[in-house]
Amino acid sequence: MSIRFELVSKRYEGRDALADISFLVDSGEFVFVTGHSGAGKSTLLKLLALIERPTSGIIEVFGERLSKISRRQLARYRRQLGLVFQDHRLLLDRNAFDNVALPLRLDGYPETAILRRVPAALAQVGLGGRESSMPAQLSTGEQQRLGIARAVVCTPRLLLADEPTGNLDPQLAVEIMELFVSLKTQGTTVIVASHDLPLIQKIRRRTIVLEHGRQIDDFRPENAHGS
Picked from ligand ADP, another protein, Mg ion, none, the partner binding residue 106 (CB below 5 to 8 A depending on kind) is: another protein
* Of residues 100 and 200, the one with the C-beta less far from another protein: 100
* Of residues 64 and 93, the one with the C-beta less far from another protein: 93
Could you say whether residue 123 binds another protein (CB under 8 A)?
A: no
Residues 41-60 that bind another protein (CB under 8 A): 49, 51
Q: How far is CA 114 from CA 81, 119, 156, 193, in A?
A: 18, 9, 15, 29
206-211 and 214-219 strand pairing: antiparallel
**Interface region with another protein, contact rule CB under 8 A, candidates 31-39, 74-82, 117-125, 128-136:** 74-82
Could you say whether residue 103 binds another protein (CB under 8 A)?
A: yes
Residue 148 CB-density burial (10 A; 0-12 exposed, 13-18 middle, 19+ buried): buried
C-alpha 110/C-alpha 161 separation (Å) is 27
Helix residue ranges per DSSP H, 155-204 = 170-182, 197-203
∠ CA(188), CA(125), CA(200), 5° rounding?
65
Rounded to a whole number of angstroms, the minimum distance from the CB of residue 169 to another protein is 26
Rounded to a whole number of angstroms, the minimum distance from the CB of residue 225 to another protein is 37
Could you say whether residue 115 binds another protein (CB under 8 A)?
A: no
C-alpha 119/C-alpha 142 separation (Å) is 15
Could you say whether residue 165 binds Mg ion (CB under 5 A)?
A: no
C-alpha 3/C-alpha 84 separation (Å) is 18
Binding site for ligand ADP (CB under 6 A): 12-13, 17, 35, 37-43
Which residue ranges make up the site for another protein (CB under 8 A)? 49, 51, 72, 74-81, 83, 85, 89-93, 102-103, 105-110, 150
